[in-house]
A = this chain, B = another copy of it.
Amino acid sequence: MAVYTDVGEGELEAFLRNYPVGELLSYKGIAEGTENTNFLLHTTTGSYILTLYEKRVEKSDLPFFLGLMQHLAHKGLSCPLPVDGKDGNVIGTLAGRPAVIITFLEGMWLRRPQVVHCREVGRALAELHIAGQDFAMTRPNSLAIDGWRKLWDAAHPRADEVEPGLAREVDADFAEFEKSWPKGLPSGVIHADLFPDNVFFLGDKLSGLIDFYFACNDAYAYDLATCLNAWCFEKDFSFNLTKGTALLDGYQSVRPLSEDEKAALPILARGSALRFMLTRLYDWLTVPDGGLVMKRDPSEYIRRMRFHRTIKSAQEYGLK
């Protein structure tokens, strides 16, 4: 939620000469994205996002993220399109950082999504999974079990500061996941972070998906389980079955789940809740107060983990 790097108009104009976007009219630093610096540009040809990649993003991952966005956009998915430079490179350098120009998507992200939006998101997620099937590059999920373990090893000694008993509770989850985490599920490119702030709507119609900087190869059903966590819980932490039903219906209207995927959904949802709890917990314990990184309370994901432990089958999420 911050502009980490300022850019002067002279260096920006020089940078833009390499891109077929017309003349610069204005640019404003915007408060979006927790990892990068983003500017909204107006030019004589329209609106664009300029992203400068700060040190939290691995430069070697950028070709995967940007190539994926181009692949998906060319397949007709509504997502931002990184603009190729006239020199043939999509990634340039600005203010000493890797930088790209991406088409601007109109639309608003919903602070309070409703049932109709959950259905749309389910459908869009399935379309993303299908559109990504012939994308040639791969990227392992750095936030799969091995990655969780690293975060947990760092956070473990102080976990009980957040909630007494948390260390023992999460240790038990790890023991179970290491024994029975599902393997061999249908896999491919997943978004891995499809939260409401990454989905734009115009009215009730989904207008675009953004922020592919956690995208990777993993089980499709895991991505869907993350959406259950991100879209179907209310502010009081209760699971909204109507929203769950809509999300799963929307998904299956495009890509029906296999029996294995259906059976795996509860444990995947539990693992996904653990994953978001862990990144929040890690930041909560290690990032200084008042810094630029926004710290989010891990406890809402502790609640989700506990909810998912009570689930016996995916029907309880609304699966038909």
Q: Which residues of A are at the interface with B, using a C-beta cutoff of 8 A?
A: 1-3, 6, 8-10, 24-32, 40, 42, 47, 104-112, 200-202, 288-291
Contact = CB atoms under 8 A, between A and B. Distances in A.
A8 to B, nearest CB: 4
A28 B26 contact: no
Specify the main secondary structure of chain A where it touches its partner: loop
17 contacts: A1-B3, A3-B31, A8-B112, A9-B108, A25-B107, A25-B202, A26-B104, A26-B108, A27-B108, A28-B28, A28-B40, A29-B30, A29-B32, A30-B31, A42-B106, A289-B290, A290-B291
A27 B110 CA distance: 12
- Give this chain's copy count: 2
Contacts of A108: 9, 24, 26-27
A8 B108 CA distance: 9
B26 A106 contact: yes
A42 B40 CA distance: 11
A183 B251 CA distance: 74
A290 B2 CA distance: 13
B25 A30 contact: no
Contact of A111 (B6, B110, B111): B6
A104 B105 CA distance: 19
The 8 closest A-B pairs by CB, nearest first: A290-B290, A29-B31, A8-B111, A9-B108, A25-B106, A28-B30, A3-B31, A26-B106
Contact of A47 (B42, B200, B290): B42
Contact of A31 (B26, B31, B201, B290): B31
Nearest to A44: B106
A29 B106 CA distance: 14
A137 to B, nearest CB: 30
Nearest to A108: B9
Nearest to A42: B106
A107 B42 CA distance: 9
Nearest to A30: B28
A10 B291 contact: no
Contact of A2 (B8, B31, B200): B31
